[in-house]
C-alpha cells in the first residue's frame, strides 16, 4: 500500500465531508431568509475556522454577533426577522406588531423588531431590536413553522399592550381581525389572560366592539358623548323604507336633517361597500346630511368627529349647542 496515496484519499474524503456540511448549512440558511446562527453552524459541524474563512473570503458576512449571512447583499425582510430572532437567543420569538407583520399584516410599520424571550433568559441588546423579557412567554403561543413568532391573536393583544398610544393599540387589534390574521373569538381568549394592565379595559372594550358590532356598546357610548357635549338627544335605529326594501339609520336628528352612521369593523369589508354607498346616497337624496363615524374614531378621535357633528347641526339651524341639558 502507498501511504502517500492513503493520505490523499483521506484529504479528499475530508474535503467532501466539509462540502456536505457547508451545503447543509446553506440549505438551512435558505429557509431562514439567507441567515444562519453560529450555534447552528457549529451544530452542523462547520468549524469556527471554516466560518472565519468564508467571511474572510467575502462569501459570507457577519450579522450582529450571533448570525452569519451566506451572501454579502442586503437582507430581505425575512432575513432581518430571522437575524433578529437568532441574535436574541434560542427561545426568542417575534412578538406584537412585528409578529403580525411576519404573519402578513399590511400597511403597518415598526421602527424596530419586537422580540420576546422568557424572563429567565439572558438579556441581550442590539441596534434595531427591542428584546423584551416577559413572564407572558409560553411555548404554546408560538407558531409551528416559519420564523419563530407568536400566534396572531397573542401578538395582537401584546401589540396593543405595548403600543405607543391608545389609538395604535386599537388599530393593531382591528387590523389583525380585518385582514383575516385571526378571529375576534381567538382575540378574546388571548385577552382573558391579561389580569393587570392599564389598557386591559381598552382591549376588552375593543374586542366587544369587534364582536358585537355597532348596535350595542358603540351607540350607548355615542349617546353619552352627546350628553357630555350638550348635543340634543337623537333618534336611534330609525327605520327607512325604499322601493328596494328597508334599512335603519344609526343616529338621526330629524328636525335638522342630520344623520350619523356609526361604522363598525364590518363596514371596512369590500362586500359591504356597495350596499353602504346605496343607502347613504338614498338618504342624501332626501336632503339629509350624512356623516360617517368609524367606531375606531369614536375610540381615539371623538373630539374631532363631534366637532364636525356640532358644525353640521349648527349649519342646519340647531340652536344653543353646548348648553342643552
Average pLDDT over residues 41-46: 94
Instruction: Report the relative pairing of strands 235-242 and 129-134 from DSSP bridges.
Output: unpaired
Average pLDDT over residues 294-318: 82
pLDDT for 271: 43
pLDDT surpassing 70 at residue 240: no
Q: What is the residue extent of each domain of the chain?
A: 20-75, 214-315
Question: Rounded to an integer, what distance in angstroms lies between the CA atom of residue 23 and that of residue 11?
Answer: 18
Q: CB atoms < 10 A from the CB of 196, how many?
A: 5
**Residue showing cell 451545503:** 23
Strand ranges in the chain using DSSP code E only, listed in sequence order = 35-37, 61-63, 67-69, 93-94, 113-118, 129-134, 235-242, 245-253, 258-263, 289-294
Question: Rounded to an integer, what distance in angstroms lies between the CA atom of residue 229 and that of residue 222?
Answer: 11
Question: Rounded to an integer, what distance in angstroms lies between the CA atom of residue 126 and that of residue 114?
Answer: 12
54 or 301, which is more confident?
Answer: 54
pLDDT surpassing 90 at residue 162: yes
Q: Give exposure, 160-171, as e/b (b: 16+ Cβ within 10 Å).
A: bbbbeeeebbbb
Per-residue pLDDT of 3-36, as tens digits, reads: 554 444 445 557 888 899 999 999 999 999 999 9
Per-residue pLDDT of 55-104, as tens digits, reads: 999 999 999 999 999 999 999 999 999 999 999 998 999 999 999 999 99
What lies within 8 Å, CB to CB, of 37 at 6+ separation is 66, 67, 68, 86
Cell of 274: 356597495
Question: Rounded to an integer, what distance in angstroms lies between the CA atom of residue 157 and that of residue 134?
Answer: 14
266 and 133 Cβ atoms separated by less than 8 Å: no
Q: Please tell me the CATH code under which domain 214-315 is placed.
A: 3.40.960.10
Residue 204's SS3 state is helix
Cell of 281: 346616497
Amino acid at each position: 500500500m502507498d501511504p502517500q496515496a492513503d493520505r490523499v484519499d483521506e484529504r479528499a474524503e475530508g474535503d467532501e465531508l466539509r462540502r456536505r456540511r457547508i451545503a447543509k448549512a446553506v440549505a438551512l440558511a435558505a429557509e431562514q431568509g439567507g441567515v444562519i446562527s453560529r450555534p447552528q453552524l457549529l451544530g452542523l459541524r462547520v468549524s469556527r475556522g471554516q466560518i472565519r474563512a468564508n467571511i474572510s473570503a467575502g462569501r459570507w458576512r457577519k450579522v450582529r454577533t450571533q448570525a452569519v449571512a451566506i451572501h454579502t447583499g442586503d437582507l430581505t425582510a425575512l432575513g432581518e426577522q430571522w437575524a433578529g430572532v437568532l441574535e436574541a437567543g434560542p427561545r426568542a420569538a417575534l412578538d406584537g406588531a412585528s409578529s403580525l407583520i411576519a404573519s402578513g399584516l399590511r400597511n403597518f410599520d415598526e421602527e424596530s423588531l419586537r422580540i420576546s424571550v422568557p424572563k429567565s433568559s439572558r438579556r441581550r441588546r442590539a441596534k434595531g431590536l427591542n428584546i423584551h423579557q416577559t413572564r407572558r412567554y409560553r411555548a404554546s403561543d408560538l407558531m409551528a413553522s416559519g420564523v419563530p413568532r407568536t400566534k396572531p391573536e397573542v401578538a395582537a393583544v401584546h401589540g396593543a399592550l405595548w403600543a405607543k398610544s391608545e389609538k395604535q393599540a386599537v388599530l393593531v387589534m382591528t387590523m389583525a381581525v380585518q385582514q383575516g390574521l385571526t378571529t375576534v373569538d381567538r382575540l378574546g381568549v388571548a385577552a382573558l389572560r391579561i389580569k393587570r394592565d392599564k389598557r386591559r379595559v381598552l382591549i376588552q372594550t375593543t374586542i366587544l366592539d369587534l364582536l358585537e358590532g355597532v348596535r350595542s356598546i358603540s351607540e350607548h357610548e355615542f349617546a353619552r358623548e352627546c350628553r357630555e357635549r350638550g348635543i340634543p338627544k337623537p333618534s336611534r335605529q330609525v327605520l327607512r323604507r325604499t322601493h328596494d326594501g328597508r334599512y335603519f339609520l344609526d343616529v338621526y336628528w330629524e328636525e335638522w336633517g342630520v344623520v350619523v352612521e356609526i361604522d363598525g369593523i364590518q363596514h371596512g369589508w369590500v362586500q359591504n361597500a356597495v350596499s353602504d354607498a346605496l343607502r347613504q346616497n338614498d338618504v342624501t337624496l332626501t336632503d339629509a346630511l350624512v356623516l360617517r363615524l368609524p367606531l375606531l374614531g369614536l375610540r381615539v378621535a371623538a373630539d374631532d368627529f363631534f366637532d364636525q357633528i356640532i358644525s353640521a347641526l349648527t349649519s342646519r339651524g340647531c340652536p344653543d349647542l353646548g348648553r342643552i341639558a
